[in-house]
A and B are shown apart, each in its own frame.
Chain A
């Protein structure tokens, strides 16, 4: 057989309409399952992003680059000094994982707090939006409840080399679409 025979496509070429549709559905179900597990976790933990990867060394030695964090974000739990929170600043895409340093609570329930990375020499005011001095509850993505060391390094590598990521995704996708169960 020649090099340009595309023999590997024979399976797909032999399929009828139903099989082709099922093949596409199968791919859709793999994606859907992952998506639904993620959304399910969101509902259970109350956090819009229940699992995050630590991207910087600013919390060493508590967390290192590549650690995987599990977050919960229950409304009724108060934020306390010493807790590790993940927050999202307006205008910044990537959430930050830092420790709560100071908390101000009002009778009516509003909270203002200041954070700092364990490994940083100054607090986070320089990281906040210009002119912002305190964080508020609406900026909190979640609070760290558990972690798995270094597992997230794969994510970091993929973010550092986006082409690598797309290549892997394309290969997996093609395999699922072409390969018949």
Chain B
């Protein structure tokens, strides 16, 4: 269908996000990415990768234990490899537990930590944390924004809850122009209220 030819977009960034609108995870990802884009590209905040790196670190160690067990067991067939296997298996399952704790208590659904860099570089950065919830079999998307002042450590937060139907068209194309104002308004509300 000529008009929608993909060669029309030079980079993947320019291509409209089109998803399977019945796929809940895809919906949430598209909205999260949209909010992320607004915060980083439009407001010019810098992304902090700390949270994600923590998770990547735990996962990497866990997989490393599993791979080590596999290799060790290959070169020292079973009865000899038993002590090493015990250590690896226990470490792996402990790390899976750590990962669960990390995602529930540290990440808490936060998909973006954006830093509003202090221009002088003297004061600590202000933090914006974005978390979202989209329940299975539910159309209500909740975007939760928390602002932490770098100096006073005071936090302010706000949230919007809207039906996902407002941000996607019939074909499942993500309408950025509908979503962006919502994010801006929320950001604005929190940014202005902090000055009171």
Q: Please list the residues of chain A having a beta carbon within 8 angstroms of any beta carbon in chain B.
A: 1-2, 5, 7, 10-11, 13-14, 18, 21-22, 25-26, 28-29, 31-33, 35-36, 39-40, 42-43, 48, 180-181
Interfacial chain B residues near A31, Cβ < 8 Å: 66
Interface of A is mostly: helix
Given contacts A2-B5, A5-B6, contact A39 B88 (CB under 8 A): yes
Interfacial chain B residues near A7, Cβ < 8 Å: 6, 18
Task: Assess whether B88 is in contact with A29, with CB atoms less than 8 Å apart.
Answer: no
Interface of B is mostly: helix
Q: Please list the residues of chain B having a beta carbon within 8 angstroms of any beta carbon in chain A.
A: 1, 4-6, 12-13, 15, 17-18, 25-26, 29, 33, 49, 52-53, 55-56, 59-60, 62-63, 65-67, 69-70, 73, 77-79, 82, 85-86, 88-89, 92-93, 96
* Complex CA distance for A43 and B86, rounded to whole angstroms: 7
The answer, among A2, A18, A42, A48, for a CB contact under 8 Å with B52, is A18
Interfacial chain A residues near B18, Cβ < 8 Å: 7, 10
- Nearest CB to that of B99 among chain A residues? A29
* Complex CA distance for A156 and B29, rounded to whole angstroms: 40
Interfacial chain A residues near B89, Cβ < 8 Å: 36, 39-40, 43
Interfacial chain B residues near A36, Cβ < 8 Å: 66, 69, 88-89, 92-93
* Complex CA distance for A25 and B93, rounded to whole angstroms: 16
Given contacts A22-B56, A29-B59, A180-B26, contact A14 B6 (CB under 8 A): no
- Nearest CB to that of A13 among chain B residues? B12
Task: Assess whether A14 is in contact with B5, with CB atoms less than 8 Å apart.
Answer: no
B60 to chain A, nearest CB (A): 7
